[in-house]
Structure 1
């Protein structure tokens, strides 16, 4: 009797341990990953087919800074002459730009200096002309024209090629907090940046340095990397799920005639409760996030690319390649979703069923 009780106790402890390990495993995953694990498992069991175990493709990597570098011309302007000008506000800007801090500032700091230079230069040119220093005024005009030509490059390096956007696109270690119902703080910041760059490129160089840096900081906190990782996961798992259904379509029929069997009803229930009820609900949040982010990202890129093209500035090939890969990844997720719905509908039709309807007896 004692041996039997000890054996029963051991079995219960083993089952409890398995349950605890299962809970721990789920806790380590995000909602999206857990939903896919559950759906694939149930689909495989109901259709009596094994899911493939192929690894997810490697994550996209934002181009390295050196692959996004742009060159700038050196102005012939004699800055020492301007440092002696007491009446020009530009004097202080030039002094700061040529300090150690100014020379070694990041791309956003250099953009702010250039915007400040452009916004102050016109008044200084008027002062120089009124003081009879036409030669210096001409030099300053040449420097202004050079900075206007190079402004798209400065904006490119400070924004979509910069450190903040690099972090924006960096994949998180997991998707535990994604997707969520909260608004991405970067969406409003991206829209603000697009308005500003349009303003700057059209010749209005007014800006607030603190707001520029604050906005880039808000973009840094955005979920671009989480979006890419989630859609990569969705594409991979949709392909696995579709393959399970395709195996059944090409093998032993789920139904020999267009009339539902218990297995067919179970299949439809899995689709309804797990795929439609959970995964597509999460996919809807992801797609909304994607639309909101990409609307602003594409606007920023298109505005900059157009301006750079007009100024005969080549967009670095590494960035164009990244854009192509990024957009292809997102498009693959859309196509994988359509394909999965299509093959699921084919198997249901074999049994006279539809995803949300009743069986046709």
Structure 2
């Protein structure tokens, strides 16, 4: 009995030791290896780095007000001339009023072109009642066109599906060998396309409008954005602290003299080849490439929409390439400084690739 217990315990320990390393494990191992090779402390506090990320604003701070258009009974009945009575009546049901923003967006994307078609049809009539109706249609079109940008913003960026793209609790993207979480590209393409329509005239409803809920579902099933933001914060912290450690070590005293490698330099080169080039750099690339695409779609979409002040400030803190404290700017600066620091270190010991 005792032998069986010991065997099970050893098996459990063996299995726990075989668990695959996470991206965070790899980053911690990389910084530890660099620090040991340099004989220099690398100050890593990933939890503190993650805590510094800005939070997506609360829903009440992201909500834009949209005036409601309420047609009177006679007006609604008059819309039978354009075969719109059923569509309007369906929209005004109690269930429709409780529908999510995505459903209202679908309704407006289909309704506006139908109203324009109605306007063109009524414009050819000499009937005074139909001419009066056409004036009402014109007013509704103008009102809907004015409110469409805010409605689109609410439907996309005030949705639960988009909220989770900016959630703070997600793990980082997986290591390349695990397969990186896919960018929800189709959904983001459609959202950017819809946002661009709000600045155009006389557009037709996109072919995918009726199936727009599938795009929201794709977004719901994807955690790419949140995982990418976590990865970006961890990478930035790793890059900044590792570069600082390299430069502090070189400023204290040279590692090599007259560019001649010594034993410590050879250890450093092994760390560079095995852990920087072999593990860290591939992960950085696997995060940056799809992340650029995700960021570009987000920027393209919000560029065409009105932003509540809290949301505008948030996106600047995350996406801006020029603001010093913006997450994306800090990452780019840290990435370049990290590369320069390694080049400085390898050059001092005559170990630059190709030298």
Counterpart CA distance in 2 for 1:248 and 1:135 is: 81
Give the aligned partner of residue 103 of structure 1: 97
Whether contact under 8 Å (2:165, 2:225) holds in the other structure is yes
Q: Could you state the TM-score of these two structures normalised by the residue count of structure 2?
A: 0.82
Give the aligned partner of residue 312 of structure 2: 320
Shift of 1:113: 1.9
Matched, 1:294 2:295: yes
Matched, 1:119 2:125: no
Question: Which residue of the other structure, out of 10, 21, 25, is the alignment partner of 1:34?
Answer: 25
Give the aligned partner of residue 213 of structure 1: 213
Matched, 1:50 2:44: no
Give the aligned partner of residue 271 of structure 1: 272
Shift of 1:236: 0.8
Deviations 1:77-128 (A, max 9, x none): 4244314654432211221221112222222112122223212223444359
Counterpart CA distance in 1 for 2:101 and 2:32 is: 49
Mark the CA change 1:117 to 1:217 in structure 2 (over 3 Å): closer, same or farther: same
Deviations 1:8-41 (A, max 9, x none): xxxxx9xx89x859836x64x52x2222122112
Aligned residues: 331
Deviations 1:183-224 (A, max 9, x none): 725113212332344346423242454421111222333411
Aligned counterparts, 1:1-361, within 5 A: 23=17, 27=20, 29-30=21-22, 32-54=23-45, 55-58=48-51, 59-75=53-69, 77-83=71-77, 85-125=79-119, 126-127=121-122, 129=125, 132-133=128-129, 134-171=131-168, 173-175=170-172, 177=174, 179=176, 181=179, 184-199=182-197, 201-202=199-200, 203-207=202-206, 208-222=208-222, 223-302=224-303, 304-305=304-305, 308=306, 315-327=307-319, 328-354=326-352, 356-357=353-354
Deviations 1:108-163 (A, max 9, x none): 11212222321222344435956542323312221111001111111111123432
Shift of 1:252: 3.5
Counterpart secondary structure, 1:56: helix
Shift of 1:324: 0.8
Whether contact under 8 Å (2:265, 2:349) holds in the other structure is yes
Give every structure 1 segment of 4 or more consecutive aligned residues whose post-TM-superposition deviation is greater than 4 Å.
19-22, 127-131, 178-183
Shift of 1:275: 0.7
Counterpart CA distance in 2 for 1:339 and 1:275 is: 15
Counterpart secondary structure, 2:214: helix
Q: Could you state the TM-score of these two structures normalised by the residue count of structure 1?
A: 0.81
Counterpart CA distance in 2 for 1:130 and 1:104 is: 40
Question: Which ranges of structure 1 fall in alignment gaps of 5 or more residues?
Answer: 1-12, 309-314
Deviations 1:202-251 (A, max 9, x none): 23242454421111222333411111110100011112212321231122
